[in-house]
Amino acid sequence: MSKALLIVLLLFSGKFLSAQLTYNHLQVDYDSAWTYKNLKIIPIRPKGGFGGQTRLLYDYADIVSLSQAMQRGYVTVSERGTASTENVHWLRINNKSNKKVFIGSGEMIMGGRQDRMVSRDTILAPTNGDQYIPVMCVEEERWSEKEKKFGYNNYASPMLRKVLDQTKNQVLLWKEISDQLIYSGVKTPSLAYAGRRLDKKFNMQEDDYFKYFYNKFKNSDSTIVGFVCMSGDKVIGCDVFAGTNLFYGELGPMLYGYIEQAIAYGKQPVTVSDDKVKAYLDPILTDEQGQLEYLKKNGKVYKYNGKVIHITGFGQ
């Protein structure tokens, strides 16, 4: 059978159309785990890598991340209006490029009239018209008269993402932010979640972690589509994407969120066994139906055009 015919058959087969992010198509690379101080990361790869037919199931080259889109000037972000009661939970975004833009729940957009966090996974089509993304406030005591320029600020910690996705409750989100700032000894006049990220000592630690792990991913074989993270004796979460392009677009911003939690709440040495990691991942990756049911309470699943393209598992 020719390669071209094989591709056509795969594209139109029911198996291809229903392929999900499970052990059928993924492998957890326990032997390639990396550890730095409080944080251990195990990569997750598609079976067959770039050389196998599984590669065809993980190709979303026409989608860029929000961080890439903002950096390259593909999108502009602005307030929907001037009244906090009507506009605090929405931001206007214009996608001026010819690319689709993936926006992840938990991504931080700072500035405007107050800092925000995206509250739902979304893919924006390439149109010039106004589109709106749902957000939550992460800066309780600021709604300024003057709108600052918005800037990108990576993903929030898995702990804050969990509160966001499980509750969608603004008051509970503010409480979690306050608790985290108090725990870290960070004072900020507007109770901004970003306050910890602006602390110089914390920043230096964060950069050391980031350089270590980012270089590990960079020097790997580029077939990774996700990872699971541990600190001390706990699994703190996992994220998997349906494509290497999607994953590497989200990698840097997502790493910062996990690193932030490991520094603030983690411990060393990391003592989580591979068996414990497997027990954590089995309900998520064993089968499609089990994954959907389990992640309703313990994570989230995002589908695009009927296919799962991003899953998140919350920490223990």
Does 236 reside within a domain?
A: yes
37-41, 55-59, 145-149, 215-219: lowest mean pLDDT where?
55-59
Does 23 reside within a domain?
A: yes
pLDDT for the residue 197: 87
Does 13 reside within a domain?
A: no
Question: What confidence tens digit (pLDDT) does each residue in 163-222 have?
Answer: 999 999 999 999 999 999 999 998 888 999 999 888 888 999 999 999 999 999 999 988
Beta bridge partners of 308: 303
> What would you measure as the largest C-alpha separation in the chain, in angstroms?
67
Residue 251 sits in which domain range?
Answer: 18-61+202-314
Residue 311 has pLDDT above 60, yes or no: yes
Phi/psi class of residue 87: alpha, beta or left (left: φ > 0; alpha: ψ in -120 to 50)?
alpha
**What average pLDDT is seen over the chain?**
89
How many domains is the chain partitioned into structurally?
1
Does 138 reside within a domain?
A: no
Does 4 reside within a domain?
A: no
Token pair in block for residue 278? 């497997």
Which run of H or of E encompasses 303? strand 299-304
Does 254 reside within a domain?
A: yes
- The DSSP annotation for 74-114 comes to SEEEEES-S-HHHHTTEEEEEE-SSSEEEE-TTEEEEEETS
Does 208 reside within a domain?
A: yes
Does 185 reside within a domain?
A: no
